[in-house]
Amino acid sequence: MSSVAATDEAPETAEFPIPAGVFAEKVTAVKHYTDRLFSFRMTRPQSFRFRSGEFVTIGLPNAVKPVFRAYSIASPAWDEELEFFSIKVPGGPLTEHLQKIKPGDTVLMRKKPTGTLVHDALVPGKRLYLFSTGTGIAPFASVIRDPETYEKFDQVILTQTCRENAELNYGRELVETTRNDELMSEFVGDKLLFHASSTREGEPRGERVTKLIESGKLFSDLGIAPLNPETDRAMICGSMAMLREIEGLLQARGFEEGANNKPGTYVVERAFVD
């Protein structure tokens, strides 16, 4: 007599019904950057609207009750597809499986986008700083590809701090393609600046963006004036420690946090941190 052991883990081939009230979209492209990072694109539901910088929750149809996690939409609001930039967490309930997706696979997405890294949460200014670590660059991949960003600001300064050099490649490619894109180059001109640093690799070793702000090296490297709450606005996305430190630096310089219902001079996304 043979018996099948009951396990919590469903076989990869099992089919589950799509839960009510979620979109089921098809993966169109996947690109792996390192053993910790990958990006993917998928179809966009025709009725789905969002503001550049917002996030959604996504999951996989691999269980009766799929695990959903918050993901920034990395593509801009005008793009006909949706793009995401993800970490691969060993044993992570979603990313363990998500990192294996291929074109044609299904990804689930809840219908309501939300978030604070949006123009509506900032008062008008001249320069926009976008501070990120790791996959925290994802919402800014959306913001820097939105023409509205360049209509509202004279200069856009994107920073990314990662552990390893190869982790900066998504951002490098993004900035390069945005500057050269047929549609976007007209808006971007020479307004978009990018400062990338890797802290655990490279000679000379890069520094955390917090250090670079404190020492002033960020501004001298880019040839721009230091942070000024009169003219500058900022968005922050990264680990909790990084958010806290950048907030401290901004507040010490007179910046005030904004929200959708009360715009300010800087905004933070806390949806992705523990």
Q: Where are the beta strands (DSSP E) in 120-271?
A: 127-133, 155-162, 192-198, 232-237, 266-268
Q: Which two tokens stand for residue 214?
A: 């404190």
Closest CA to 222 of 192, 187, 185, 252: 192
Q: Which of 109, 156, 242, 268 touches ligand A2P by CB under 6 A?
A: 242
Asked if 209 is part of the footprint of ligand A2P (rule: CB under 6 A), the reply reads yes
Asked if 210 is part of the footprint of ligand A2P (rule: CB under 6 A), the reply reads yes
Burial class (CB in 10 A: 0-12, 13-18, 19+), 217: middle
| Alpha carbons within 13 A on the beta-carbon side of 251 | 10
Q: What is the spatial distance between Cα 93 and Cα 62, in angstroms, rounded to a whole number? A: 11
Binding mask 94-133 for ligand A2P (x = CB under 6 A): ---------------------------------------x
Distance in Å, CB of 167 to ligand A2P, minimum: 8
- Give 107 or 212: the residue with its C-beta nearer to ligand A2P: 212
- Give 42 or 209: the residue with its C-beta nearer to ligand A2P: 209
- Give 103 or 226: the residue with its C-beta nearer to ligand A2P: 226
Distance in Å, CB of 36 to ligand A2P, minimum: 8
Which residues lie across from 213 on neighbouring strands?
none
3-state secondary structure 126-143: CEEEEEEEHHHHHHHHHH
Among residue numbers 161 through 200, which ones bind ligand A2P (CB under 6 A)?
Answer: 161-163, 199-200
Asked if 205 is part of the footprint of ligand A2P (rule: CB under 6 A), the reply reads no
Contacts to ligand A2P by CB under 6 A: 133-134, 161-163, 199-200, 208-210, 239, 241-242, 245
